[in-house]
Chain A
Amino acid sequence: MQDSLKSSSYQQLEQKSKYTNMFLRWFLYFILILFASYFIFPLYVMVVTSLKTMEEIRQGTLLSWPSGLNIESWAVAWGGRGYGAGDTFLRPYFWNSIKMVVPAVFFSTFIGAMTGYVLTKWRFKGDQWVFLFLLFGCFIPFQAILLPMARTLGVLGISNSVIGLVLVHTVYGIPFTTLFFRNYYISVPIELVKAARIDGAGFFKIFFKILLPISAPIIVVTVIWQFTQIWNDFLFGSTFSFGEAAPIQVALNNMVLSSTSVKEYNVDMASAIIAGIPTLIVYVLAGKYFIRGLTSGAVKG
């Protein structure tokens, strides 16, 4: 008797918890989707605005759908209107950014791989202090080096040039790339290196024959991290270059802030998307590596 009573009340309880569970589940999805719309909202607004005409923008709301695929604002953002002075458009600055990013990513990644290799496989007395010495570079607020850097670039004769920006981004990328490679190589067994040394392999042979072939994942993480950081940089770009040598973020900002005639929001939005698209593509294609970089090197603002 008692047993059956117990079990029926237990069933009731289970039934009740089933309903609460279902309610909780709906609530869960509701909140998750609510936040998803908060995050997607600006991107949606950017895309539809870029496809509207100014007339539509004035008449519709942020969310209203464009009447057609008006890609003219994209053409203007990328290639200008074709009249001379005062016609700013992104194409040349996009190439400036490419010319800046490719060498800067290459050099900083290479130097980082080398230092990471030495710090883990050719350890010397005090190497931990050297690592700490380099690591601290990840954290400094760049305002503290802006003034002497501007002067140094001037003395070297490469201020306001893409080469100057390559130097700056290479140098301030080294702490991060070193951190990435050091943390990766430390888990590679030292026995591999020792065996190769007994076989007579030298410093570079060990690196290129043993370490480099297994470095693909960390190279991907490092390259993505450096690419995103350098592509998105504004502080260095705006301080050390202006006019024709400016990278794309600086050009975008100038374009949006220029107050000539009527504000064309559709062109602004198309420009913003153009400036954001390379990093977005990288993120969508290689999100896993992007996140891995973020969580292990995300000390930079």
Chain B
Amino acid sequence: MFKWLEKNLPKIVMAPAVGLIGWFVYGFVLWTLYISFTNSKILPKYELWGFGQYEKLWASRKWLIAVDNLLIFTTLFLIFCVVIGIILAIFLDQKIRAEGLLRTIYLYPMALSFIVTGTAWKWILNPTLGIQKMFRDWGFENFTFDWLVDREMAIYTIVIAGVWQSAGFVMALFLAGLRSVEDEIVKAAKIDGASLFTVYWKILLPMMRPVFFTSFVILVHISIKSYDLIVALTQGGPGISTTMPALYMTQTAFHKSQVGLSAASAMMMFMAVAAVIIPYLYSELRRENAR
């Protein structure tokens, strides 16, 4: 008995972690999947109802707006974060004075919660006392910047705040990537007469492929899950114009008590994340095994 215990001690120590994750992650996802095939309202029902909730979901105008917003947000969020991140990383890589200070400034928003970020930007972007008033007081009397309360434009305020929060992070990833390249490669290219621009454009950036890939996966992941920022900045409004899937899911579940429908929306989010993550994990594992 004691021998057995000693031999299996490592597995026993592993058991709580595996058990907890098995139950709280896999078990719960399966439960949500099952519920998405039932006609559950306030309380879960367990008889199967087929794809009804999914049909309802994709017929819902609010959900379509949410998906639309997600596509807009993800695209812009990706482009701006990556472009700003790369520019900052390359510029910082030029033996800049006070590099440490600048890096600290670019990255500190990452330490704040989206609620804090959202609260700050909501104040800055509010038309009566924020940026709009600032420019008008400076003499630009016709200056208008009321995206926060404009149905068509409100989604872009979420992009502004989101990019502010995450661009520095892409900078950190790329800076680490650039610093890991051997000096010799750059030196050799310069001796061959390549300009600094060519060195980056033709040699270094193509070498950053894995960093591009990582940034892409992380940023898409952040944007699919984005919830806090919208709650703090617009609460999905004006109207429902800035609803996103994560907000749709919680509202349907906890305000409208449509448990089945919200489970279906959660599963759609799950599949979207899986579509990005599984190829990523696969390639990461292959890289690790190749090593």
Chain B interface helix/strand/loop/mixed: helix
Do A147 and B269 contact each other (CB < 8 Å), given the known contacts A234-B113, A234-B227, A280-B112? Answer: no
Do A283 and B111 contact each other (CB < 8 Å), given the known contacts A62-B134, A137-B25, A148-B28?
A: yes
Kindly identify which residue among A111, A112, A145, A239 contacts B24, using a CB–CB cutoff of 8 Å: A145
Per-residue CB contact flags for chain A residues 96-119 toward chain B (1 = under 8 Å, else 0) read: 000000000000000110110111
Shortest beta-carbon distance from A47 to chain B in Å:
10
Known: A141-B273, A174-B21, A298-B169. A63 touches B134 (CB 8 A): yes
Q: In the docked arrangement, what's the CA distance between A242 and B237, Å?
A: 23
CB <8 Å contact, B120 and A39: no
Q: Are B124 and A143 in contact (CB under 8 A)?
A: no
Chain B interface residue bracket vs A: 35 or more
Q: How many whole Å from A254's CB to the nearest CB in chain B?
A: 10
B183 within 8 A of A: no
CA distance A238 to B115 in the complex (A): 11
Does A45 lie at the interface of the complex (its beta carbon under 8 Å from any beta carbon of B)? yes
Say whether, besides A147-B266, A299-B218, A301-B221, A282 and B20 are in contact (CB < 8 Å): no
Partner among B28, B31, B172, B227 whose Cβ is within 8 Å of the Cβ of A295: B172
Residue B143 lies at the interface, judged by CB distance under 8 Å to chain A:
no
Given A32-B88, A58-B129, A298-B218, A268-B31 contact (CB < 8 Å): no
User: Which residue of the partner chain, among B28, B172, B254, contacts A294 with CB atoms under 8 Å?
Assistant: B172
Q: Are B105 and A144 in contact (CB under 8 A)?
A: no
- Residues 161 to 179 of chain A near chain B (Cβ within 8 Å): 171-172, 174-175, 178
Q: Are A46 and B120 in contact (CB under 8 A)?
A: yes
Determine the main DSSP class of A at the interface with B. Answer: helix
Does A279 reach chain B (CB closer than 8 Å)?
yes
Would you give the 0/1 interface string for B86-114, flagging 1 where the beta carbon is closer than 8 Å to chain A?
01100110101000001011111111111
Residues of B with C-beta under 8 A to A45: 120, 123-124
Residues of chain B within 8 A (CB-CB) of A124 are 10-11
Residue B130 CB within 8 A of the other chain = yes
How far apart are B203's CB and chain A's nearest CB, in angstroms? 19
Whether B106 and A36, one on each chain, are in contact in the complex, defined by CB atoms closer than 8 angstroms, is: yes
Whether a CB of chain A sits under 8 angstroms from the CB of B243 is no
Determine the distance from Cα of A164 to Cα of B232 in the docked complex, in whole angstroms: 24
Q: Which of B146-154, B184-192, B245-253 contacts A (4 or more CB under 8 A)?
A: B245-253
**Residue in A40, A271, A276 whose CB lies within 8 Å of B112:** A276
Interface residues of A in 4-19 (CB under 8 A from B): none
Q: C-beta contact mask, A243-279 vs B, less than 8 Å → 1, else 0? A: 0000001001100110000000100110111011001
